[in-house]
Amino acid sequence: MSDRAAEDLGRRTHPMTGLVQGLLWGAAAFVALIGSILSRRDGGLESILFGVGGAAVGGLLIGLLAGYVSWYFTRFVIDGTELRITRGFLTKQSRRIPFERIQSVDVAEPFIARIVGLAELRVEMAGGNESRTTLRYLPLNDVRDLRRLLLARAHGEEIADDTGPKDDQRSLITRVPPQRIIVGTLLSLDFLGAVLALICVVVIGVVSQQVLIVLGGVLPFGGAVVQIVAKRILEQWDFTLSRGARGLRIERGLLSRTSQTIPYDRVQGIAIKEPFVWRRLGWQRLEVDVAGYAAQGDDSGSSSTSTLLPISDPALAEAVIAELVPSRTEQITTDRPTRRSRLFAPIGWRFRWIEARTGVVVSQIGWIERTTCLVPHHKSQSVELRQGPLQRWRGVATVEVHTPPGPVDVDGDHLDATAARRFWEEQVARRT
């Protein structure tokens, strides 16, 4: 409110923003309008064609107008301490992003924007549902410069806007070939499950000769199969992981490209996932906990955003992990659930453990999909010891190390009650 003048001084984003955003919103409006037109089933072919054409033109007009207005009223300023974005026509919104609060900075190129050479900037802060700030759209080079600037400022370095290297020196860690992503997706548990369900539905339908069953089952399960393939393969196409001065860089995507930077000191924990079929082949998936990443449920989805390596062999995974969390650790204690916890996990109890090492706490869970989580002691937020009535009856308790929302969950489920208490006390005392 106080800096009314500063608002008007700010830069606008690229003028094409209105058009690109308008096309996106227009498509959405078209879909919304066409539904109501087609459901009206009166009149002949001409009236339907007319309605569809009207929906297309109307949706486009609404989208373009909204896109233009939102572009016109969006401005951003970068000063010595923060990035400030003001937007909104009726309700003014002004957001300040202090540099030291920045968790990560991503560059995304949605498909339509990419065609015209534009990109959006995503800045993540810790906490809350609205921790992500997007600035759309700017020319790709401008966005890259902005990212470089913000990342440098986030680390408390002063660099002039135009000097310095165009991109920091980076060395390639790995590039995951697309065919490996495809094979990995085809062998992943959720894909196999969806396909199996699809086959079952078709077989049941054919045997019982009920067309309705086939249709009712094919649509959701077929949709799931398509969605899994589209999500994994399109989003993780040409997945490239490289190492820079400030953090790891991830570049991925076939139609929409995304370029993420994960600063080394912002990694809150790592999860290693090994689904059943992958384990045979020695493959692993690495996911990373970065504050702010898990809060989104938008187009890119949290699962892709937090993926550090979609598929890799153990040696490479170990090398990447060693860069992000303390490695060469010594084991201090290992705790497994007691036999008394069979009640809670009849098979799974044998496959769980939690281990304290120097520098990190590690836990493993799961026998169909084995998940191993690592959290450095200096990143653990709080430590919980809990016991429900059934657990009290069996003499067991659960220890949990809290981390920011994300794929990483370090739990010691249903340990012996005294062991859990001891682990909790020791973990609370561990600082580094």
Partner 1 sequence: MTGVVPLVVLAIALAVAAALVPGWAWLPALGAVIALGGAVWAWRWAERNRRSWGYVETDEELLITSGVWFRRLVAVPYGRMQFVDVQAGPLQRLYGIATVTLHTASAETAAAIPGVRSDEATRLRNRLTELGESRGAGV
Q: Which residues bind partner 1 (CB under 8 A)?
A: 103, 126-127, 266, 268, 291, 378-379, 381-389, 392, 400, 402-405, 424, 428, 431
Of 274 and 416, nearer to partner 1 (C-beta) is 416
DSSP 264: G
Q: Between residues 208 and 381, which has the closer beta carbon with respect to partner 1? A: 381
For residues 62 and 360, which CB has a smaller minimum distance to partner 1 in the complex? Answer: 360
Q: What is the DSSP letter of 230?
A: I
Minimum gap (Å) between residue 39 Cβ and partner 1: 41
Half-sphere exposure of 82 (CA within 13 A, CB side): 11
Q: Which is nearer to partner 1, 163 or 432 (CB)?
A: 432
Nearest to 103 by CA among 371, 232, 237, 294: 294
Closest approach, Cβ 273 to partner 1, in A, equals: 20
Comparing CA positions, the residue from 138, 194, 148, 179 lying closest to residue 21 is 138
Q: Is the separation of the CB atoms in 253 and 237 below 8 Å?
A: yes
Tokens of 409: 């969950």
Q: Quick one: which of 144, 146, 142, 124 has its CA closest to 133?
A: 124
Cβ 267 to partner 1 shortest distance, Å: 10
Q: What phi and psi values does residue 209 have, to the nearest 5 degrees?
A: 55, 40
| Cα(81)–Cα(119) distance, integer angstroms | 24
In the bound state with partner 1, the residue whose beta carbon lies nearer, of 119 and 294, is: 294
Backbone φ and ψ of 190, nearest 5°: -70, -35
Report, in Å, the least distance between residue 268 CB and partner 1.
7
- Shortest Å, Cβ 283 to partner 1: 30
Is-contact 349 342, C-beta < 8 A? yes
* Residue among 299 and 425 whose Cβ is closer to partner 1: 425
> How near is the Cβ of 95 to partner 1 at its closest, in Å?
18
Query: Shortest gap between Cβ of 313 and partner 1 (angstroms)?
Result: 31
Q: Quick count: other Cβ atoms within 10 Å of Cβ 150?
A: 20
CB of 355 to partner 1, least distance (A): 19
Beta-carbon count within 10 A of 58 CB: 15
State in angstroms the smallest separation of the CB of 244 from partner 1.
21
Minimum CB distance to partner 1, residue 383 (Å): 5
- Counting Cα atoms < 13 Å in the Cβ hemisphere of 8 gives 3
CB of 241 to partner 1, least distance (A): 23
- Per the CB < 8 A criterion, the answer to whether 232 and 187 are in contact is no
Q: Based on CB atoms, which residue is closest to partner 1, 279 or 386?
A: 386
Q: Under 8 Å CB-to-CB from 245, ≥6 apart: which residues?
A: 168, 169
Of 156 and 389, CB closest to partner 1: 389
Crossing angle for the helix pair 17-38 and 45-72, to the nearest 10 degrees: 150
Tokens encoding 343? 């009640």
| Alpha-carbon distance values, 284 to 127, 181, 183, 337, 423 (Å) | 29, 12, 13, 25, 29
**197 vs 217: CA distance, rounded Å:** 8
Q: Specify the residue, 88 or 127, whose C-beta has the smaller distance to partner 1.
A: 127
**Strands, DSSP E only, in 253-368?**
257-263, 267-275, 284-290, 307-312, 331-335, 353-357, 360-365
Local structure of 427: helix, strand or coil: helix
Distance from C-alpha of 410 to C-alpha of 382, rounded to nearest angstrom: 11
